[in-house]
Amino acid sequence: MDHYKHITIDERETIFLMRNHGNSLREIASHIKKSYSTISRELSRNSTGKSYSPSKAQEKYKQRKGNCGRVSLLSNPQVFEVVREHFCEDLWSPEEISNRLAVEKYPVQISTTTIYRGIFNGLFDNLFKSGSSSAVRHLRHHGKSRHNKAYQEKRGKIPIPNKIPIPNKIHDRPREADNRVEIGHWEGDAVLGKSGKACVVTLVDRKSRYLLIGKAAKRTSEAVTDTLSDLMKLWPGRSLTITPDRGKEFAKVQCLTDKFGTPFYFPDPHSPWQRGTNENTNGLLREYLPKGTDLDSITDRRIQAYAEQMNNRPRKCLGWKTPYEIFFNVVLHLI
């Protein structure tokens, strides 16, 4: 166990997910191979009240390292407009904006810290088309409550193997899928709304983070299976494996294996970090479809527009390229 390396943003995301799921500090420490005291200190130093935000924790870490920016850069109208467009309209994070500017060799570079300062100083308040007038509330992690161990998700889970067998487990998944060495290995989930019958089915490619979205009229295994089938038809031959959630919506995917030859690998119970790519992507999707959204009233055209925005959003794990660029092996100019 390494006690000397600093906690990375990916590890902070894992801490956030496992803590929200009710895991103990020792369980988290063991999973990311850090000491108990390191995890305890991380939560103590970087939590806001009772909430822990990976992005804010990372920003606090950078500030303590003296990574400062110049607020005056935002007084440049051209720079301000670039930041406003991608933050307020495209919902990019300050880190995504700053690093994509560097990737595209924009004439003026602006640091993540400078953008955050502008946000917290109110420079972007009242510039969003919907939602809170405070720009801070539009940051991905602005302070969220977590559930305690007594909390149980209301979604049904796939029953025990004696009732509905799980043909493949995640531990049997090919190394190519685990190591993200090729496109075509997907993670799947169903995003639920506040009420109504509809849900949004998501497939995320593990290598490129490219997202496919489809709306299922009902939250039944039949409807979700039909929607998955439609998504898999979009890219014939590029569905090598799928790792879905253990929700009962995915109880009838064997027919898709029979139809497309694509095996499904199910994660262990109560282990959302085994599908971290999908969990993280769903967190991004919630910026466009916040919890409480009535999915029955959302058109498929609008949902596809959200998918397009997300696929053209730079990702740190991709070297600030976009999922679209990786999936299709192209270079885009987005700034």
Percent of the chain with pLDDT over 90: 59
Name the strand (E) or helix (H) holding 187. Answer: strand 185-192
Torsion 308-313-314-317 (CA) sign: negative
pLDDT per residue over 74-100, tens digit each? 999 999 999 999 999 999 999 999 999
Q: Checking DSSP bridges between strand 185-192 and strand 211-216, what pairing results, if any?
A: unpaired
What is the C-alpha end-to-end distance of the chain, expressed in Å? 42
pLDDT at 270: 87
pLDDT tens, 262-291? 999 999 988 989 999 998 999 899 889 988
pTM score of the predicted model = 0.72
Q: 10-residue block means of pLDDT along the chain (335 residues)? A: 70 92 92 90 84 86 60 84 94 96 94 93 86 80 48 50 68 95 96 84 97 94 96 92 92 94 94 91 90 89 95 96 97 92
The phi, psi pair for 233, rounded to 5°, reads -70, -20
* Residues contacting residue 152 through CB under 8 Å, at least 6 positions apart: none
The answer to whether 71 and 110 are in contact (CB under 8 A) is no
Handedness of CA 303, 308, 309, 314 (dihedral sign): positive
